[in-house]
Amino acid sequence: MPTNEKEKIEPPPPHPIPVLVADDEETTRIMLEEFLWEWGYAPMCVPDGLTAFNALHKPDAPCLAIIDWMMPGMDGTDLIQAVRSAKFDRYIYVIMLTARQEQEALLKGLEAGADDFVPKPFDARELQSRIAVGARVVKMQNQLKAYAQNLETLAEERAAQLIHADRLSSLGIMAAGVAHEINNPCTSISSNMQLLKRMWKTLSPILQQNAATLENNGLSSAQLAFFQTEMPGMIENSLNSVKRITQIVRSLKTYSHKEGAGFQQCSLNQCIHEALRLCAGPLKQRLAITEKLAENLPPFYGDAQQMEQVLVNLIMNAADALQGRTDANLTITTTWIDTEHIEARIQDNGPGIPEDAFSKLFMPFFTTKSMSKGTGLGLSICESIMNSFGGRISASNSPQGGACFTLYLPIS
């Protein structure tokens, strides 16, 4: 029998609301099924409580259920109790169907968690309107749920933003302190290494001249040759490492710039000209630059020097991405977006930004460059500068290929 029943279960079409019918009497099931189709629902009929319970677990299972009170095995009350304690991620509206009309049974059913009660034999019109009520309740529940979920997502996003902002600002406060702390050990390493370099310059030829004496004293010529070749490299390496630390420290200090101090009306186009002038040396003939600057662009309120820093950073990033290409091109566009905003786009024809890098792009210390080339602070500094101007920086890959950075600024 049950296999037969299963064949009857038709997959509900996407539009009609699916309704689960659990009844051990075949006649009732057939009757209900016909009525439900007629009323525009998608019935899903099962012969017992357990099958019904399992059916409700499936994804896209009905939110409306018509359940018979008396069933073999898991009966209606058991089923409702099971449904209520199963904590589905959606609300299931349950209409109990029963021949019993005693008040006792009615109360028991409602206590178990039924939403409504229809006596058997049922009046078709009454059942139809009761199912309609159920459908309405389910719809409202779903709306409420979606609304709550939406709120939750918004709250989560906001929290993530706040955490990000907080981390950036505390990093800013920390930065100056850290920079100072790191500077001192760097100073001593740097000056020691520089002195060592000079001492070695004096010592090295003397050691070589006295190679024979040294050999007699246990220093083989191979060992001496090793010292001679390795020592300058070791010293140079240490000096370069210190330089690198210094570079990071210097970038970190930018975090602690005083926000709003020295802000004035600035011309975005002028900042771009200045930034290009600053980059001209290192960029010499390495890439073609196309400027598409809007005329009569209104000014923004901020710090021109910091804006130039942002632009230089983006231009140099692009130049790094375009290294070794003969068709390297950088397009800088400025646009008057609306009455309140202007925009600058820095677009290259390089390999673009890897998909998995987008989420981390503006995070401090994230870099796609090799360790010796980038500190991973450039873009995060750009972001904090743009934020301090009340603007935004965003990254995308243009459909023609290549990375595109957009600077969005409020008009002063």
Partner 1 sequence: MNENIHILVVDDETDVRDSIARHLRFLGYDVETAANGKEAATILEQKKTDIVVSDIMMPEMDGIELLRLIRKDYPMTHIIMMTGFVTQENILACMRLGAQTCLFKPIEDIEELEEAVHAAENALKKWKETFVRLRKLNVQYK
242 versus 314: smaller Cβ distance to partner 1: 242
Kindly state whether residue 174 participates in binding partner 1, applying the rule CB under 8 A.
no
Number of H helices, E strands in the chain: 11, 12
The tokens 């006792």 sit on which residue? 104
Do residues 321 and 284 make contact, with C-beta atoms less than 8 angstroms apart?
A: no
Q: Which of 19, 105, 179, 322 binds partner 1 (CB under 8 A)?
A: 179
34 versus 236: smaller Cβ distance to partner 1: 236
Kindly state whether residue 237 participates in binding partner 1, applying the rule CB under 8 A.
no
Q: Which of 54, 101, 161, 191 binds partner 1 (CB under 8 A)?
A: 191
235 versus 315: smaller Cβ distance to partner 1: 235
Kindly state whether residue 305 participates in binding partner 1, applying the rule CB under 8 A.
no
3-state secondary structure (DSSP) of residue 42? strand
Kindly state whether residue 232 participates in binding partner 1, applying the rule CB under 8 A.
no
Element (H, E) at 49: helix 49-57
Stretch that binds partner 1, among 28-36, 183-191, 380-388, 397-405 (CB under 8 A): 183-191
Q: Which of 50, 110, 186, 293 binds partner 1 (CB under 8 A)?
A: 186
Do residues 271 and 357 make contact, with C-beta atoms less than 8 angstroms apart?
A: no
185 versus 351: smaller Cβ distance to partner 1: 185
Cα 21 to Cα 52: distance, rounded to the nearest angstrom = 8
Give me the least distance between CB of 190 and partner 1, in Å please: 5
Kindly state whether residue 139 participates in binding partner 1, applying the rule CB under 8 A.
no
The tokens 């190679």 sit on which residue? 211
Question: CB atoms < 10 A from the CB of 191, how many?
Answer: 11
10 versus 181: smaller Cβ distance to partner 1: 181
Kindly state whether residue 307 participates in binding partner 1, applying the rule CB under 8 A.
no
Instruction: Looking at residues 244 to 303 of the shown chain, list those that interact with partner 1 (rule: CB under 8 A).
Output: 245-246
73 versus 262: smaller Cβ distance to partner 1: 262
Q: At 1, list the tokens.
A: 């029998």
186 versus 224: smaller Cβ distance to partner 1: 186
- Cis before 121 (ω within 30): yes
| HSE-up (13 A, CA, CB side) for residue 21 | 29
Kindly state whether residue 243 participates in binding partner 1, applying the rule CB under 8 A.
yes
Give me the least distance between CB of 231 and partner 1, in Å please: 17
Q: Which of 184, 217, 285, 370 binds partner 1 (CB under 8 A)?
A: 184
- Could you give the C-alpha distances from 99 to 64, 67, 96, 105, 109, in angstroms and in order? 20, 12, 10, 10, 13
Q: Which of 151, 195, 280, 337 binds partner 1 (CB under 8 A)?
A: 195
Q: Which positions ≥6 away from 341 have C-beta within 8 Å?
A: 408, 409, 410, 411
Stretch that binds partner 1, among 48-56, 110-118, 190-198, 372-380 (CB under 8 A): 190-198
Instruction: Looking at residues 383 to 402 of the shown chain, list those that interact with partner 1 (rule: CB under 8 A).
Output: none
Kindly state whether residue 190 participates in binding partner 1, applying the rule CB under 8 A.
yes
CA 45 to chain centre: 43
Question: CB atoms < 10 A from the CB of 120, how many?
Answer: 17
SS (H, E, C) 142-205: HHHHHHHHHHHHHHHHHHHHHHHHHHHHHHHHHHHHHHHHHHHHHHHHHHHHHHHHHHHHHHHH
187 versus 323: smaller Cβ distance to partner 1: 187
Q: Which of 188, 208, 237, 323 binds partner 1 (CB under 8 A)?
A: 188
The 10 Å CB-count burial string (b at 16+, else e) for 216-237 is eeeeeeeebeebeeebeeebee
Give me the least distance between CB of 199 and partner 1, in Å please: 7
Q: Which of 54, 153, 187, 220 binds partner 1 (CB under 8 A)?
A: 187
Residues that bind partner 1 (CB under 8 A): 176, 179-180, 183-192, 194-195, 198-199, 242-243, 245-246
